[in-house]
Amino acid sequence: MEIKVLGTGCPKCKSLEKITRETVEKLEIDAQVTKVEDIVDIMNAGVMQTPALVINGKVVLSGRLPSEKELTELLTQK
């Protein structure tokens, strides 16, 4: 699984990266988590509000932080 956290470095973006990494580890998901901070790359992904979460090339969350339950559901969907 490829997971990208899109955000320019604001506190919410950093929080999303932190909770995503923690949840991936907790659920023992085989995933590569990367942080994308380049605004051009973020806009090319079609994201206008950060933070955003991209799983396997699909934007699944944008403009807010998810609850722990919602993040778990996003990461475990097939």
Query: Of residues 1, 2, 9, 10, which has the active-site annotation?
Result: 10
What's the sign of the alpha-carbon dihedral 75, 77, 36, 51?
Answer: negative
**Strands, DSSP E only, in the chain?**
2-6, 32-36, 52-55, 58-62
Whether 41 is a known active-site residue: answer no
Whether 26 is a known active-site residue: answer no
Query: Of residues 3, 6, 13, 71, which has the active-site annotation?
Result: 13
Catalytic residue ranges: 10, 13
